């Protein structure tokens, strides 16, 4: 259901803005999830985990992945186990801690993620193509202002 649908014309404008942002985010995410499933037989959590590993070529410990992805260790372990079986990630010993290990993309994982990332970028560009370059810049400026105020308010 469209979150905006629950708002009324007489609701506070800030609430309507929040619901519009939420609706846009959910619509885009739903589209991306569907395309990842259809074109790559994968999920958004798997894509997100691989994206973190692509940004950290030296690999990440499981607890670092959990923190960056903001999910439980159990969720990360299940995804890593699947990706390892498919040859997309590998576990490496952590020299400073015999109980820990690092996870990193394999060459096959790097190649697979690069293909998914290119497609992901194209999908998002397509979904936001209804805005001009100037409108993109204005929206980025306004959202940065919203973000900054939210950070200051919650600090």
| Residue 19 falls inside a structural domain | no
Considering only residues 55 and 74, tell me which one the structure prediction assigns the higher pLDDT: 55
| Residue 2 falls inside a structural domain | no
- Residue 4 above 60 pLDDT? no
For the chain, the domain total comes to: 1
Write out the residue range of the structural domain in which residue 93 sits.
42-154
Residue 95's pLDDT is what?
A: 80
| Residue 102 falls inside a structural domain | yes
At 27 the three-state DSSP class reads helix
| Residue 24 falls inside a structural domain | no
- As to burial, measured by CB atoms within 10 angstroms (0-12 exposed, 13-18 middle, 19+ buried), residue 47 is middle
Mean pLDDT, range 83-105, rounded to an integer: 91
pTM of the predicted model as reported, rounded to 2 decimal places: 0.84
Residue 7's pLDDT is what?
A: 54
What tens digit of pLDDT does each residue of 102-153 get? 999 999 999 999 999 999 999 999 999 999 999 999 999 999 999 999 999 9
- 112: domain CATH number? 1.10.10.10
**Rounded Cα–Cα distance for residues 35 and 32 (Å):** 5
**Rounded Cα–Cα distance for residues 102 and 57 (Å):** 11
């Amino acid at each position: 259901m469209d979150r905006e649908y629950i708002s009324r014309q007489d609701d506070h404008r800030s609430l309507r803005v929040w619901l519009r942002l939420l609706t846009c985010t959910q619509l885009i995410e739903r589209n991306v999830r569907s395309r990842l499933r259809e074109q790559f037989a994968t999920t958004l959590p798997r894509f997100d985990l691989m994206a973190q590993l692509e940004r950290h070529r030296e690999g990440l410990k499981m607890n670092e992945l959990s923190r960056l992805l903001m999910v439980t260790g159990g969720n990360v372990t299940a995804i890593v186990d699947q990706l390892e079986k498919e040859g997309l990630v590998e576990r490496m010993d952590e020299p400073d801690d015999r109980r820990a290990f690092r996870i990193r993309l394999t060459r096959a994982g790097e190649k697979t993620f690069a293909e998914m990332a290119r497609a992901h970028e194209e999908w998002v560009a397509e979904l936001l193509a209804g805005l001009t370059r100037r409108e993109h810049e204005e929206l980025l400026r306004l959202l940065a202002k919203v973000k900054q105020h939210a950070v200051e308010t919650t600090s």
